[in-house]
Chains A and B, each alone.
Chain A
Amino acid sequence: MKSYFTKTFAIFLLIGVMSCSKDDLRQYDALQQKNAVEDLNDPYLLSSIIKKSSLFYQDMGWGQSKLPGAVQYCERNYQGGDNTYQGFKQLPDDMYTAMDILKFIDASIKLADARGSKTHVGIFTTFRVLLFSFMTDFYGDVYYSQALKGREGILYPVYDKQSDIYAGLLKELETASANITSGTDVVSTTYDLMFGGDKVQWQKFTNSLKLRLLMRASAKYADAGAKIAAAAALPLLTDASDKNASIAYVGTSTVNSWIGGSNNWGNGGDFERRRPSKTLVDKMLSLNDPRINVWFAPIEDPWTTDPAKNGVTFTTTDSNGYTYSSTWEYIDASNPVIAAQIPNILDKDKVYAGFVAGMNGDFKNGNGHWNTALGGAYGNFKVSKFSKLFQENAHDLLRAQIMNKDEIQFILAEAAVKGYITGNADTYYKAGITYSMKRWGVSDTDIATYLAQSVIALPGDSPGKLAKIADQKWIALYSVAAEAYLDLRRTRLPNIFSQGLLSTYPFPNRYRYPGNELGQNVTAYNQGVATLAPAVDDQFSKMWLLQ
């Protein structure tokens, strides 16, 4: 009997020991894995930074309609606050998105630095400058010298003055350029989504960014001319063989597809809710711009003053092979519904028409669209949509853009007119137009025809030249609305501020600080507001750049 107890007891002990087995192997495993994920190799850091930054810029340039609406590339056909800058009344927190990416960039710089990957450090620094410049350009004074230092114990960083940030960023770009040149580490061809591992392109991009920033701040520097001349003398993204600072979409999932594609906008709802702005369409029509059929779709039911054409259907095929069917509708004054709309019909006998700038974003408002039942909740058959190209998940012409070569040419053109540099403004101007058109697949013949027009030629006077350059830069920056907005704000050119119904709406000068800043870091916030003129956190106050 006694042995019985012992055996029973032994079994319980065995169970106990089994469940107490220490699993040392697992612990070792876990520790090893932990170490592994605390470090990441340069190619992964590089692809991640390029992707995050490019998508962030493209989101501002197209994904949201706040900036494309403000610069009149598009108008909302439905829920139209962005037609009248209402988004600026809110407290945009794009700053935080930028900070998230900057956090990744700063950590990457540390890792690459520890490995001695100087080229990568340089490239990463360029993106760091790009995103900090975004923050200060849109908000004014922001986090900079004390930014991203939570680990060092700075839990409530203060803002830096915009003038100091600009000085810092320009200096960082010099270091970045030097690092890219002197680094011996190899840049991966596959993981470098932007320049395929070409260090020279990276260096040119860094220098081009410097030129962009200098031009933006040119009014604030007494020696702007010298500064810009020095920057323009560096290798820039100007050669025909140079690439644009943009990345191609893959088109297989929501994250790697163009925002307007079916992977993101699915049923096309948001696609239909925004339409080309009449300001842009009319400008392009007046210049016989061949990009118009690349970007916009023919009106579905265009108005005609010719009763014979009523009900006649025609098909348009654009340069990318997309086809559209349109049916003329006669402005039939005997139909009381149509008669009531006649004052609203601004575009007739035209295949392309835009939505009036600053108009209440309601599809019923656009160009006398009357058959609301047929149009659905945001359909409008009297105003163009964007072309089918912009509904693709991926396409050769669709890229997530940070900076295109044409922009550099237009900066140089402006610098030449203003006498900052000695080059020929007309050469830069035409090169800018050419690069832009080529980027959208326009043929050399069409480009030549376009450039040969008298409406394109630069006039003799400087203001006239600047206005023409600004027109073309504005068109070229289409779908890069962040840059277009900053340029429009700086130069007030082209003068589109009273287009359509916008005259009673002042053009906003900045983003208001994100809501949390007031609540959580009121000291920094107050400092930032104090340097604005007037010292109020609203969208009309002027930051240092504009003072």
Chain B
Amino acid sequence: MKRKISQLLLLGLLVLFASNTFAQIKVKGVVKSASGEVLPGVSIVVKGTTNGVVTDVDGRYNITVPGAKSVLVFSFVGMQNQEITANGKSVIDVTLTETTIGVDEVVITAMGITKAKKSLAYSVSDVKSDDLVKGGNTNLMKSLDGKVSGVNLTSLSSDPTSSVLVNIRGTTAMPSATDANVSVKGQPLYVIDGIPVGNQTFTSKNGVDFGNILSQLNPEDIESLTILKGGSAGALYGSDGGNGVVMITTKSGKGGKKGIGVSFSTAATMDTPYQFIEEQHLFGQGERAFEWQYDNTDTWGPPLDGSYTGDFWNTKTQKWDNGPMKSSNENRMKAYLQTGSTVTTNVNVSGNYDKGSFRLSLSNMGNTGVMPNTKTNQKSFSINSEYKLTDKIKISANANYTRTYSPNKANVTGSNSILNNLLFNFPTNLQPLADMKNYWMKGFEGIMENGAIMKDNGIDVSTENPWWTTYEKINRFSRDNFFGKLQLDWQLNKDFAFMLRSGMENVIENYEYRQSFGKTSMANRATSGDGMFQTSLDKSLSFNSDAILSYTKSLGKFDISAAGGVNYAYSSTNSYAYTAGSLSVPGLFTMANVFPGRLTMSGTPQGTVGYGWGVGPSYSVYGTADVGWNKQLFLGVTGRNDWKGNLPEEKINYFYPSVSLAWVASETFKLPEVINLLKIRLGLADVGNGLTKQRPIDTYSFESPDWSGNVKTANINATLVDPNIKPMQSITKEAGVDVWMFNKKLQFDFTYFRKDQNNQLGSIPLVQGTGYTGMTTNVGDVRNEGFEWGLTLNPVRTKDWNWDLTTTFTHYKAHILHLSPQFAPAGYIFASYDGKTKVKIAEGEEIGNIYEENPILRVKTGKYAGMALLDGNGGEFQKSSNEKDRAQLGNYNPDYIMGLNTTLRYKRFSLNMVASFRKGGKYVSVNQQYMESNGRATTTLSSGPNNPWWNGGRTPALGGLAWPVAGSSTYDNINANNDGQRSEFHDASYAKGVFVNPNFEGTNPSDADYIVNGADPNNTFYQFPYNSYGDVIWDFTATRTYDATNIKLREVSLTYSLPVSITNKLKLNNVNIALVGRNVFQWNASGRNEDPESAFSGVGVSQGILRATLPSVRSIGFKLGFDF
């Protein structure tokens, strides 16, 4: 027994080192099409073996066959297979003829079941390895953009290592009062080699995006990526697949040439930021043009022409100076960011033998960020192997280990980022960043920060030195990810096959945050310490096992295939974080150095009960059956039943059915020859969602930190669950058509889909009078409708020239179809979204609509209806407190997304381009908000055509008006306002609108009681620009909403393949050299120098809101690959 087991363990090793010892005959030749073009990529296999090769770009092949009687099988997509007996010949040239219906392509579908593309009744997108790696993108998900229809990919930032959010056919998630960000909720299920690895979002620590597991996968290891978009396609995965499924198949050694093969590839790119926001460089710190305020980050102050002299902190010399105020004329973003680089190297060794195959892959990726002092390193190791015990039994094992390590990665979005500080809080008169590099006070290194602005005492920081932030606030992260599987395939007899598969994934994330001394004021350090240290560990483990019995049979005109299986899944998570809110002594980052009383802990051990080990088992039984009739009608049904829940009272089960029908009309009717295939598809799926029952109880948790060393305090966690709650249900319908014409030179597919997500689970907000903030119940139904199409053209195919063109189109819109009657008696509520925006939850509302939080208060009726109603004491814009006045700012979803992927090949040169066009959608620029209120935007210089809200300017030259003579108004409060602010400086400005005559007494003013501000200079409420504009416009989002339409040239590559004559001399094969570029060009309809796409990104940032993100990053480099 023991001996047998060790034998078995040795099997894997045998697979690796077995070598072949057959008699060998070498055969070579060229494969061409009937029209005489050479055919690259034709697969040639020795029949009855797995020994095979592929033709090179010249259609040439070399193969070693075991004997004279060997039969070679030539196969190529769109061509008829040909079998030729070698008969001892050493040169065999072959001409392949095109199939009338080249429909033998297969795709991998749910549960890893392979199906003929022709029989599919639903739309799938599948991307092959070549397309993934052409652009040299190191990020698998980023490389998909522009290449698939029906999928909206959102990069969390332009940083090449960032996470990507994926929304397949949009999202049908209902926004809730507490979580209105629906995009994160609608993530698909990812399945790698048959093992589900969950719904990946991203890992965010301290606002820093550390990517997710998908962004870590090495694109060079991916054989294919299939996206199951519709309900029918993913129904076998039950509720987990409700948002679609991304199936990833990794490369194996199978199908390669016999024996050992080694491939090598390397790519290097330079990453350069471009498109920087413009800011004004004319005025410095302060709120008024005649008043210098050296520690105010507003730049509404004096002109920087050198005429004004003031005190300022000289960061370079580290002392207070006095001198003329001048502009640095520096674009801070441009000055701060650097050119990054990404270098990737892959080596893989594959072996292919009669009894099995293996592939071993090693890769290393090093990225130096465009943010200074940031780096990411990624190493991956994977092995896929397969061994045939007999002709009928096959064992395969895959193992993958990836380690990502960032010694420091920066926050690139939102209010905590250094970019935020540089854009909004860095007056242009401060010195150039290059003069600030010495960020410690001389003689006090590690203790006293040399701020960009200091306080009066010269020892405390008023505005942080960006270099201090760069080098002394460190986010260190590592992720070890192991996933793998063991699989047994057993062909029981001609009709039955059995498969047993068990896989696991284990992720360990380690995070550390270090902040040096330098922020806390010197006086407070004794009582509160300084710096910070945080360390956290997150672990997750998941197991997944399936046993599937499948059956295939042809009975006359019927082709039947069926499979049934069981699944057991189990997962657990564990995490904790320790935070030393401040430290006792500088430079020592240990928990022992925590300042007394500043230690906090969080994570599962002390959080909500039951999650410490996150036990989450589920059991499922599923089955699928496909019946084909006469190769023209295909009916597919699937069913799955899940049993979920941990504690007895939480247990629950659901059944998910689906049915789909495809009709290949071109087989039924005699159609003109040009039409190769005409297929009509229909699909219907009904997927329930895994509601685990919840106990409607109040629980208590202790607060952290304790009140004192000997007194603890608690919080109540009151949850209310609707006693009549029902499981969520999503019903997906899709209909589509596929047409292939002109020998497949034109392939078109169109799909219309509708997904109704009914009885959505969510928390309805309750009035606080109930004692509960919300109740978990069925909130309502959301319907998402849309269509997608893909068009592939091959207009030119000659000996020397080949041109392929694929375009994809995606359009969808989701609406709230129905709301629970318990939800909001008024019929709607506004959910807080992001800062000054709201999301409306109401029947008929389109998902993605955003509203202003504060509408400008306007006159409702009469002659002045629509004009802003100004405050009767100061003449400023006022906010309307009636939420019905809130206007819709727009919808952040695009009207449609188009992708274009084209390859033009001439002889050995190949040019590939991928572009995307995102039409429509609106975004709110928080950049503009802060730049305006802080006086940084160019629009703050004066009123003008871009600025309909006020009249005036900062100086007479910029349109500033003269202040009226003191006491010149007939009204006391106008005099009081104007005289309180007047100056000799001509900077009077006024808000455009009307105010109620101060002498009016009553509640309903009529037309005659309004006075138009600005109409009579004596009776005008004047303000200086900061007051009339900067301080006020802040509230009104409508003034900074822009069109998000944009075009991006995402990938360009020019590849040259070395001819065989040269490669043979080098003893190499398939030598390719390429120039690659990514994000080479961008056009924004708004004309603004900010990437609208980054309004759809950011860790925890709401879609459609753009704030202080990285500018676009362009990557240019080269790629080299060869085999030997």
Interface residues of A, Cβ cutoff 8 Å to B = 1, 3-5, 7-9, 11-12, 15-16, 19-20, 22-23, 26-27, 30-31, 33-34, 36-40, 44-45, 47-48, 51-52, 91, 95-96, 99-100, 102-104, 106-107, 142-143, 146-151, 154-157, 190-191, 193, 250, 252-253, 255-256, 262-263, 266-268, 360, 372-374, 376-377, 379, 393, 504, 514-524
- Whether B771 and A7, one on each chain, are in contact in the complex, defined by CB atoms closer than 8 angstroms, is no
- Whether B766 and A31, one on each chain, are in contact in the complex, defined by CB atoms closer than 8 angstroms, is no
CA distance A237 to B13 in the complex (A): 86
Among the listed stretches B709-717, B787-795, B1032-1040, which one makes contact with chain A, having 4 or more residues with CB under 8 Å of it? B709-717
CA distance A104 to B716 in the complex (A): 6
Q: A23-B615, A27-B646, A191-B711 are in contact. Are A8 and B825 (CB under 8 A)?
A: no
Find the B residue at minimum CB distance from A365.
Answer: B980
- Whether A96 and B296, one on each chain, are in contact in the complex, defined by CB atoms closer than 8 angstroms, is no
CA distance A45 to B703 in the complex (A): 12
Residues in B neighbouring A191, C-beta threshold 8 A: 711
Q: Can you list 27 pairs linking A and B with CB atoms under 8 Å apart?
A: A7-B8, A8-B393, A8-B395, A15-B486, A16-B547, A27-B615, A27-B648, A30-B610, A31-B647, A34-B695, A40-B714, A48-B703, A99-B768, A107-B718, A150-B720, A150-B766, A151-B720, A155-B822, A190-B710, A190-B711, A253-B597, A262-B527, A262-B528, A373-B294, A376-B296, A519-B830, A520-B766
Min C-beta distance of A390 to chain B, whole Å: 14
- Whether B770 and A374, one on each chain, are in contact in the complex, defined by CB atoms closer than 8 angstroms, is no
Q: A96-B768, A376-B456 are in contact. Are A268 and B716 (CB under 8 A)?
A: no
B500 at the A/B interface (Cβ < 8 Å)?
yes
Q: How many pairs of residues, A versus B, come closer than 8 Å at their CB atoms?
A: 231
Find the A residue at minimum CB distance from B312.
Answer: A373
Residues in B neighbouring A9, C-beta threshold 8 A: 488
Q: Which 4 A-B pairs have the closest CB atoms?
A: A252-B597, A150-B770, A148-B771, A143-B769
B:696-745 near A, CB below 8 Å = 696-703, 705, 707-708, 710-716, 718, 720
- Whether A5 and B389, one on each chain, are in contact in the complex, defined by CB atoms closer than 8 angstroms, is yes
- Whether A376 and B771, one on each chain, are in contact in the complex, defined by CB atoms closer than 8 angstroms, is no
20 extra interface residue pairs, beta carbon distance < 8 Å, beyond A3-B4, A373-B293, A520-B767: A4-B389, A5-B393, A15-B486, A15-B545, A23-B615, A30-B610, A30-B615, A48-B714, A51-B707, A96-B768, A149-B771, A151-B771, A154-B770, A156-B767, A250-B707, A252-B708, A263-B528, A393-B527, A515-B883, A524-B769
**Interface size counted on chain B using CB atoms at 8 A:** 88
CA distance A95 to B771 in the complex (A): 12
CA distance A38 to B609 in the complex (A): 11
B117 at the A/B interface (Cβ < 8 Å)?
no
CA distance A45 to B8 in the complex (A): 62
CA distance A102 to B768 in the complex (A): 10
CA distance A73 to B613 in the complex (A): 53
- Whether A148 and B4, one on each chain, are in contact in the complex, defined by CB atoms closer than 8 angstroms, is no
Residues in A neighbouring B829, C-beta threshold 8 A: 519-520
- Whether A47 and B598, one on each chain, are in contact in the complex, defined by CB atoms closer than 8 angstroms, is no
Interface residues of B, Cβ cutoff 8 Å to A = 4-5, 8, 291-296, 310-311, 389-390, 393, 395, 455-456, 460, 462, 486, 488, 500, 502, 504, 520-521, 524, 527-528, 543, 545, 547, 568, 570, 581, 596-598, 600, 609-610, 613, 615, 617, 646-648, 695-703, 705, 707-708, 710-716, 718, 720, 765-772, 775, 822, 824-826, 828-830, 881, 883, 973, 980
Residues in A neighbouring B824, C-beta threshold 8 A: 519-520
Interface centre among B598, B600, B697, B711 (most CB of A within 10 A): B711
Q: A7-B5, A266-B520 are in contact. Are A148 and B769 (CB under 8 A)?
A: yes
Q: A16-B500, A95-B768, A107-B716 are in contact. Are A26 and B826 (CB under 8 A)?
A: no
Residues in A neighbouring B883, C-beta threshold 8 A: 515, 518-519
Find the B residue at minimum CB distance from A1.
Answer: B390
Residues in A neighbouring B581, C-beta threshold 8 A: 253
- Whether A262 and B524, one on each chain, are in contact in the complex, defined by CB atoms closer than 8 angstroms, is yes
Find the A residue at minimum CB distance from B696.
Answer: A151
- Whether B646 and A44, one on each chain, are in contact in the complex, defined by CB atoms closer than 8 angstroms, is no
- Whether B293 and A376, one on each chain, are in contact in the complex, defined by CB atoms closer than 8 angstroms, is yes
- Whether A521 and B825, one on each chain, are in contact in the complex, defined by CB atoms closer than 8 angstroms, is yes
CA distance A379 to B395 in the complex (A): 77
Residues in A neighbouring B697, C-beta threshold 8 A: 38
- Whether A30 and B765, one on each chain, are in contact in the complex, defined by CB atoms closer than 8 angstroms, is no
Min C-beta distance of A534 to chain B, whole Å: 10
- Whether A373 and B311, one on each chain, are in contact in the complex, defined by CB atoms closer than 8 angstroms, is yes
Q: A7-B4, A266-B520 are in contact. Are A522 and B826 (CB under 8 A)?
A: yes
- Whether B713 and A8, one on each chain, are in contact in the complex, defined by CB atoms closer than 8 angstroms, is no
- Whether B713 and A47, one on each chain, are in contact in the complex, defined by CB atoms closer than 8 angstroms, is yes
Q: A15-B545, A23-B615, A34-B609 are in contact. Are A252 and B700 (CB under 8 A)?
A: no
CA distance A474 to B226 in the complex (A): 74
Residues in A neighbouring B613, C-beta threshold 8 A: 26
Min C-beta distance of A273 to chain B, whole Å: 13
- Whether B769 and A147, one on each chain, are in contact in the complex, defined by CB atoms closer than 8 angstroms, is yes
CA distance A3 to B389 in the complex (A): 12
CA distance A36 to B701 in the complex (A): 10
Find the B residue at minimum CB distance from A153.
Answer: B723
Contact of A44 among B310, B714, B720, B822 (CB under 8 A): B714
CA distance A72 to B770 in the complex (A): 36
Q: A7-B8, A518-B883 are in contact. Are A30 and B646 (CB under 8 A)?
A: yes
Interface centre among A52, A146, A253, A376 (most CB of B within 10 A): A253
Interface centre among B486, B708, B765, B980 (most CB of A within 10 A): B708
- Whether B825 and A523, one on each chain, are in contact in the complex, defined by CB atoms closer than 8 angstroms, is yes
CA distance A45 to B711 in the complex (A): 11
- Whether B771 and A147, one on each chain, are in contact in the complex, defined by CB atoms closer than 8 angstroms, is yes
CA distance A522 to B456 in the complex (A): 52
CA distance A377 to B300 in the complex (A): 13
- Whether B647 and A30, one on each chain, are in contact in the complex, defined by CB atoms closer than 8 angstroms, is yes
Min C-beta distance of B851 to chain A, whole Å: 13
- Whether B711 and A47, one on each chain, are in contact in the complex, defined by CB atoms closer than 8 angstroms, is yes
- Whether A146 and B769, one on each chain, are in contact in the complex, defined by CB atoms closer than 8 angstroms, is yes
Contact of B771 among A99, A142, A516 (CB under 8 A): A99
Residues in A neighbouring B768, C-beta threshold 8 A: 95-96, 99-100, 143, 514, 516
CA distance A155 to B773 in the complex (A): 11
- Whether A27 and B647, one on each chain, are in contact in the complex, defined by CB atoms closer than 8 angstroms, is yes
Q: A27-B615, A373-B293 are in contact. Are A522 and B695 (CB under 8 A)?
A: no
- Whether B598 and A521, one on each chain, are in contact in the complex, defined by CB atoms closer than 8 angstroms, is no
CA distance A255 to B646 in the complex (A): 36
Contact of B713 among A51, A91, A372 (CB under 8 A): A51
Residues in B neighbouring A16, C-beta threshold 8 A: 500, 502, 545, 547, 568
Q: A190-B710, A520-B824 are in contact. Are A34 and B771 (CB under 8 A)?
A: no
Residues in A neighbouring B598, C-beta threshold 8 A: 252-253
Min C-beta distance of A193 to chain B, whole Å: 7
- Whether B718 and A103, one on each chain, are in contact in the complex, defined by CB atoms closer than 8 angstroms, is yes
Residues in B neighbouring A7, C-beta threshold 8 A: 4-5, 8
Q: A47-B713, A253-B597 are in contact. Are A12 and B825 (CB under 8 A)?
A: no
Residues in B neighbouring A95, C-beta threshold 8 A: 768
- Whether B292 and A150, one on each chain, are in contact in the complex, defined by CB atoms closer than 8 angstroms, is no
Q: A252-B598, A519-B826 are in contact. Are A8 and B711 (CB under 8 A)?
A: no
Residues in B neighbouring A23, C-beta threshold 8 A: 615, 617
CA distance A73 to B394 in the complex (A): 84
- Whether B718 and A157, one on each chain, are in contact in the complex, defined by CB atoms closer than 8 angstroms, is no
Residues in A neighbouring B292, C-beta threshold 8 A: 372-373
Min C-beta distance of A543 to chain B, whole Å: 18
CA distance A343 to B545 in the complex (A): 85
Residues in A neighbouring B456, C-beta threshold 8 A: 374, 376, 379
Contact of B825 among A36, A147, A520 (CB under 8 A): A520
Min C-beta distance of A399 to chain B, whole Å: 14
- Whether A376 and B455, one on each chain, are in contact in the complex, defined by CB atoms closer than 8 angstroms, is yes
CA distance A256 to B822 in the complex (A): 40
Find the A residue at minimum CB distance from B597.
Answer: A252
CA distance A213 to B973 in the complex (A): 40
Contact of B488 among A12, A34, A96, A263 (CB under 8 A): A12
Contact of A372 among B293, B547, B699 (CB under 8 A): B293
